[in-house]
């Protein structure tokens, strides 16, 4: 082997461990050791100037070679006082006579390519009582020559105590640790062993590998993984970790659950870039109070969570929460420096009085926040027992709604709109129904609210549109009428960029014309975007789709804007008929106004013969209500149809 290795470019030599000298070396090794000849190199005594730590480490190698171990390490050599780093492969070599020597293959750091970097092994030995004995040149260069004790090089006393205890008990320890070098705190991979020297005296031998660059990258990635990139606050993962640790410490605290009221309106009307600016400013306003908070996190979207310690004789959490509501509800400025008005709703749950479980605490704080929003927004709410029930129901509805179409749980009921004079059906209103095996019958308003909040509204209403149009053809034939189909649409769904395009596609798919469909929208939705030339409302009317104002009298009811809305029919809310007071004058004025605006009127909630006659006398010939017909599924309409063979 020695003969063939002589011509290799890689420096190779055999080190006689027992005699502290080189037994053989190839020409490349002579160059590394800056020796003129093999004879000169073999004559060198390597015990001179070698630290005890290096000697002990090589003795460890020798014991390992007897078990066929191979070591890969970076070492620093100093031939003629010139430092040279090399990546070394140490393996055993049997000398004549049977003694175990060390075969060294060394790749100098100057030969490394790409991202490979060389850093020397730092070796040091200490007594079992922590006194420094010796270190190799790389160790002395990193930590200096005035080392008092092993403890003095540790950044953390607890780390030192843990490592010493393990070495003394198990004779070995290996892990990444922070140590104090002469240039500051640095990360090393520490391999510590309890060894005996030739006299049998125990020593602690440290072998250190520089892993500072790797650890800093790891820490950076870990920090990124727990931080929200937009605001710099803790993200959901980071906050949950912090919350878990805080609960483990068993110190009382309040959990604030903050939601920004009106944020969706900002995103929808001004774009996500403006919305992001608002979120960043919200985070900045929260950070202004960071001296009072342990942790602040952005939990998702426009929701923020805060941990506030409850400390005796300090400011109460409720007082801080009130201050936050005021601060977060101050106007924000968009990119044109125009003030934006949003507010904040805050829910509060306390540890440990409300719960000692992190999931429950978050749910309780969220439930309290939800209650604050329902109560009018821009306020705070302390958790009370039972507040989470509504939130749990919403959560259950969300979970089951996502599979309601797949499980055939949705259905449509149709209620006709009657011309009370001719008794003909002029329109059918499609009404969504949902029956779930676990939840039972879910109210339509609950269904739509959850669908909007979970992003399912487009899918749900796409199903409604398609099913209603499919059934219209059947209803027309069965009822022997030319009625159209009136379908309620969420403002959120209509705001989707492809809404009108999809609507037209469904109409054509069912072999219908735009005039066969009426879209029912509330006054507020119809008023939004009227100034835009390409608004969905204007696109639909230009195509021939009829627009109906739904629940007139319960929303904006602004007569000043009514003439601007391109609706053909106004549906007067049933609240007028259920009122105990005489509203005939009001209804007469409404009908007269609508007539002058060339709009037809339909009145909802007609439940008795007397009501039919009364509202007909006021000019409301188009009527809808239980008196004429309750909402029924298609099958029931077919059973009472004029043409029952359909």
Q: What is the pLDDT of residues 410-451, one digit of tens each?
A: 999 999 999 988 999 999 999 999 999 999 999 999 999 899
User: Rounded to an integer, what distance in angstroms lies between the CA atom of residue 632 and that of residue 478?
Assistant: 14
Q: Would you state the pLDDT for residue 584?
A: 83
How many DSSP H helices and E strands does the chain contain? 24, 27
pTM: 0.56
What pLDDT does residue 562 have?
76
Q: Which residues contact 53 (CB under 8 A, 6 or more apart)?
A: 123, 124, 125, 133, 134, 135, 136, 139, 205, 206
Ordered alpha helix ranges (H), 271-412: 272-287, 317-328, 358-374, 388-401
Of the two residues 471 and 137, the one the predictor is more confident about is 471
Quick one: pLDDT at residue 314?
60
Residue 9, classed as helix, strand or coil, is coil
How far does Cα 251 stand from its chain's mean position?
Answer: 27
Task: For 554-599, write each residue's pLDDT tens digit.
Answer: 654 556 567 778 888 999 888 888 766 677 888 888 888 888 888 8
CA dist 510 and 525 (Å) reads 27
How many Cα atoms occupy the beta-carbon half-sphere of 439 within 13 Å?
21
Enumerate residues 6+ apart whose C-beta is below 8 A from 179.
143, 153, 154, 155, 185, 186, 187, 188, 190, 208
Mean pLDDT of the chain: 87
> What span, in angstroms and rounded, lies between the C-alpha atoms of 307 and 506?
50
The residues that bridge with 196 in the sheet, in sequence order, are 202
Question: For residue 43, how far is the Cα from the chain centroid?
Answer: 67
For each of the domains in the chain, give its residue range(s) and CATH number, in order of start: 12-108 (3.30.450.20), 121-218 (3.30.450.20), 248-385 (3.30.70.270), 402-642 (3.20.20.450)
């Amino acid at each position: 082997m020695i003969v063939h290795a002589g011509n290799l470019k890689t420096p190779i030599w055999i080190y006689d461990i027992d005699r502290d000298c080189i037994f053989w070396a190839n020409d490349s090794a002579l160059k590394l050791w800056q020796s003129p000849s093999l004879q000169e190199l073999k004559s060198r005594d390597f015990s001179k100037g070698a630290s005890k730590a290096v000697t002990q480490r090589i003795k460890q190698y020798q014991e390992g070679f007897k078990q066929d171990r191979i070591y890969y390490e970076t070492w620093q050599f100093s031939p003629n006082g010139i430092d040279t780093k090399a990546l070394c492969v140490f393996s055993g070599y049997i000398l004549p006579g049977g003694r175990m020597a060390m075969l060294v293959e060394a790749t100098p750091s100057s030969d490394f390519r790409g991202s490979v970097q060389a850093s020397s092994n730092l070796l040091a030995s200490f007594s079992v009582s922590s006194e420094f004995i010796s270190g190799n040149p790389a160790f002395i260069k990193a930590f200096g020559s005035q080392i008092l004790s092993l403890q003095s090089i540790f950044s953390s006393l607890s780390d030192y105590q843990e490592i010493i205890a393990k070495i003394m008990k198990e004779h070995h320890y290996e892990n990444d640790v922070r140590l104090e070098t002469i240039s500051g705190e640095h990360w090393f991979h520490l391999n510590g062993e309890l060894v005996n020297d030739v006299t049998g005296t125990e020593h602690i031998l440290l072998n250190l590998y520089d892993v500072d660059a790797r650890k800093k990258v790891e820490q950076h990635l870990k920090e990124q993984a727990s931080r929200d990139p937009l605001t710099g606050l803790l993200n959901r993962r980071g906050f949950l970790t912090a919350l878990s640790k805080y609960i483990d410490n068993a110190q009382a605290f309040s959990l604030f659950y903050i939601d920004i009221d009106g944020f969706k309106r900002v995103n929808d009307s001004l774009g996500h870039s403006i919305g992001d600016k608002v979120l960043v400013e919200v985070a900045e306003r929260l950070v202004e109070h960071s001296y009072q908070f342990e942790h602040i996190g952005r939990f998702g979207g426009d929701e923020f969570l805060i941990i506030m310690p409850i400390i005796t004789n300090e400011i109460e959490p409720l007082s801080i929460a009130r201050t936050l509501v005021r601060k977060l509800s101050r106007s924000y400025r968009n990119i044109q420096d125009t003030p934006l008005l949003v507010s904040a709703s805050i829910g509060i749950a306390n540890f440990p009085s409300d719960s000692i479980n992190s999931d429950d605490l978050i749910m309780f704080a969220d439930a309290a926040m939800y209650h604050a929003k329902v109560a009018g927004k821009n306020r705070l709410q302390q958790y009370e027992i039972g507040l989470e029930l509504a939130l749990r129901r919403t959560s259950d509805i969300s979970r089951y709604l996502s599979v309601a179409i797949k499980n055939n749980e949705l259905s449509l009921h149709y209620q006709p709109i009657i011309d009370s004079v001719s008794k003909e059906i002029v329109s059918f209103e499609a009404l969504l129904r949902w029956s779930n095996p676990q939840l039972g019958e879910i109210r339509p308003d609950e269904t739509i609210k959850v669908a909007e909040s979970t992003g399912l509204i487009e899918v749900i209403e796409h199903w409604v549109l398609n099913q209603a149009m499919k059934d219209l053809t059947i209803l027309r034939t069965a009822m022997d009428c030319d009625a159209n189909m009136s379908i309620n649409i969420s403002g959120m769904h209509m705001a989707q960029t492809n809404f009108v395009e999809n609507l037209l596609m469904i109409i054509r798919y069912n072999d219908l014309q735009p005039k066969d469909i009426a879209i029912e929208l509330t006054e507020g939705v119809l008023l939004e975007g009227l100034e835009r030339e390409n608004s969905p409302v204007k696109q639909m009317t230009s195509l021939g789709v009829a627009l109906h104002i739904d629940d007139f009298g319960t929303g904006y009811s602004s007569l000043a804007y009514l003439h601007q809305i391109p609706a053909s029919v106004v549906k007067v809310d049933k609240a007028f008929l259920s009122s105990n007071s005489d509203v005939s004058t009001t209804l007469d004025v409404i009908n007269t106004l609508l007539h002058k605006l060339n709009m037809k009127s339909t009145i909802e909630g007609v439940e008795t013969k007397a009501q039919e006659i009364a509202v007909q006398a006021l000019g409301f010939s188009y009527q809808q209500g239980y008196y004429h017909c309750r909402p029924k599924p298609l099958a029931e309409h077919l059973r009472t149809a004029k043409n029952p063979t359909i």
